[in-house]
Amino acid sequence: MPFTIAVAGKGGTGKTTIAALLIELLRERGAGPILAVDADPNVNLHELLGLEVARTVGELREETLERIADLPAGLPKEQYLELGLQECLVEDEGVDLLVMGHGEGPKCYCMVNHILRKYIDVLRGNYKYVVIDNEAGMEHLSRRTTQDVDALIVVARADPISIRSARRISELAAALKLRIKGRYLLVNDLAGELPPALEAELAQTGLPLLGVVPHDEEVLRLALAGRPLSNLSAGSPAKRGLARSLEALTREERSTPKEVEQRWR
């Protein structure tokens, strides 16, 4: 199975930026194939990756329910969804993108979700890495659209409110009883040094600090111009900072859950 990285955190902390940069770093290393999953209903990972969205899984789900009664004879729901999922996949060099799209309306989605989960799981098997950009509430994780997670990266800015929010998200993930091998904190968009006054807050999250990603004007400029992060220069401080965190994660990839726990204790 692939190594699955889920990026979570409060809105505006830089989840999508971190997810896109991780994908760029993995892609540059030829570590793919990578499956990028945009699990935030406020869809924007594709923009940072410079990709177009085809059809979202949410749209597929709604269409399937609308058409269920008049699907052509001989085309079972399963096959319709499997084919539909292929159409949702945007393919690019070394990375494919799956956009989950909007959440669910008031209908009964159990059957459709059950089949979708099965095919998303089959799809995952084709990749070496899965990188998921989650929304703050982690709805997809909680509904287990995404199954096992190897590394849950909770992104926070270097302020107490953001770090406390990271702690709550981590506790939520623990309460959901998901199969998560390692949970980490990543401080993003840091100007200067980590303020010593934050140390107690950081410790209270109970999360090991995976790394610190510095503030990077070029990241912000590209976002404001709506341009993908592949345009970042090689010396980008954010990318270099995140590369160190990725090294640490790659070590985890080869470790058992027990070794991971001992390393960070």
Ligand X SMILES: Nc1ncnc2c1ncn2[C@@H]1O[C@H](COP(=O)(O)OP(=O)(O)O)[C@@H](O)[C@H]1O
Sites of contact with ligand X (CB under 6 A): 9, 11-17, 188-189, 213, 215-216, 219-220, 223, 238
Provide the minimum distance between the beta carbon of 256 and ligand X in the complex, in angstroms, as a whole number: 31
Rank residues 189 and 252 by Cβ distance to ligand X and give the closer one.
Answer: 189
**Residue 174 Cβ, how far from ligand X at the closest point, in Å?**
21
Q: Which residues pair with 35 in a beta bridge?
A: 96, 130
What, of Mg ion, ligand X, none, does residue 236 touch, CB below 5 to 8 Å by kind? Answer: none
Least distance in angstroms from the C-beta of 33 to ligand X: 23
Instruction: Find residue 188's DSSP bridge partners.
Output: 213
Cα–Cα dist 174/127, whole Å: 26
Q: Count residues contacting Mg ion (CB under 5 A)?
A: 2
Q: Should residue 16 be labelled a site residue for Mg ion when binding is judged by CB under 5 A?
A: yes
Binding segment for Mg ion (CB under 5 A), chosen from 9-17, 27-35, 163-171, 234-242, is: 9-17
Q: Residue 5 in 3-state DSSP?
A: strand
Taking the complex as a whole, the smallest distance from the CB of residue 11 to ligand X amounts, in Å, to 5
176 binds, among ligand X, Mg ion, none (CB under 5 to 8 A by kind): none
Tell me which residue of 67, 60, 68, 62 sits closest to 88, measured CA to CA. 60
Nearer to Mg ion, 15 or 157 (CB): 15
157 token code pair: 């800015």
Phi, psi values for residue 25, rounded to 5°: -65, -45
- Structure token digits, residue 32: 């793919």
Does residue 99 sit in helix, strand or coil? strand
Beta bridge partners of 182: 151
Footprint of Mg ion (CB under 5 A): 15-16
